[in-house]
Amino acid sequence: MSKKTYTKVILGVIGVSTFLLAACGGPDYPVAPPAPIVVEAPSVQIAVPAPARQEASPTPEITPTAMQELATATPAGDTQSCDLFKNIEISVVYLDWMREKPLEFYFKIPGGVPGLEKAIPNTSNTWEYTGKIGDHLTSNCEFVSGYAERLYCKINLPAEYAYTARELSLSLKGCEQPVFKDPSTTVPNFFN
């Protein structure tokens, strides 16, 4: 073997040895991190079909007069009248109950009795109020001029109702639910 070939073999062995030592974590030979491999994904295009064209349906014409007629045609118990009582703190005051006489009491309605004492515009409600204690209805409920914020009622009750807890409610004609309800009011005893 010639000296040149021998030198090349030696240099080649040294180069391979150096590489192996570096790859195996030899302390004197820093290893350069491998170059990142970049793989490009092929671009994919998805064809989205256009939505099918639909024929426009003819829009019915609405005249302003028809809309106006619908807006003003409200039933006697419109929800506007019933909703007036949502934020009112109604209380009840009983008057002296005499034996063999109807019990008289009034609903204290802050701001005035709607429809009777206090005018409510744009409503067709008849403002007929009814009170109920237990299973008995009032004979009449009315606003008395000069007694602000009071709706007076009279009711005939049996003697066994005296000084007992009963459900009390106030209803307005046309409203599905009572405008006031106390699940257990204490009916007064007879006044001697």
pLDDT for 140 equals: 80
**What tokens does 143 get?**
């606003």
pLDDT for 66 equals: 33
Residue (of 150, 151, 156) closest to 98 by Cα position: 156
CATH number for the region 86-186 comes to 2.60.40
For residue 121, give the amino acid letter.
Answer: P
pLDDT for 144 equals: 96
CA angle 88, 128, 102 (to 5 degrees): 90
HSE-up (13 A, CA, CB side) for residue 125: 24
pLDDT for 57 equals: 44
**Residues present in the chain in total:** 192
Distance (Å, whole) CA 190 – CA 157: 11
pLDDT for 78 equals: 61
HSE-up (13 A, CA, CB side) for residue 10: 7
pLDDT for 192 equals: 76
SS3 content of the chain, % helix, strand, coil (to 5): 20, 25, 55
Distance (Å, whole) CA 168 – CA 65: 45
- Tell me the sheet residues that pair with 94: 105
pLDDT for 126 equals: 92
Rg over CA atoms, the chain: 46
Q: For the chain of 192 residues, list the mean pLDDT of each consecutive stretch of 10.
A: 55 52 52 54 53 48 35 49 93 96 97 95 92 94 97 97 97 95 96 82
User: What count of other Cβ atoms lies within 10 Å of the Cβ of residue 30?
Assistant: 7
Q: Which helix (H) or strand (E) holds 72?
A: helix 64-72
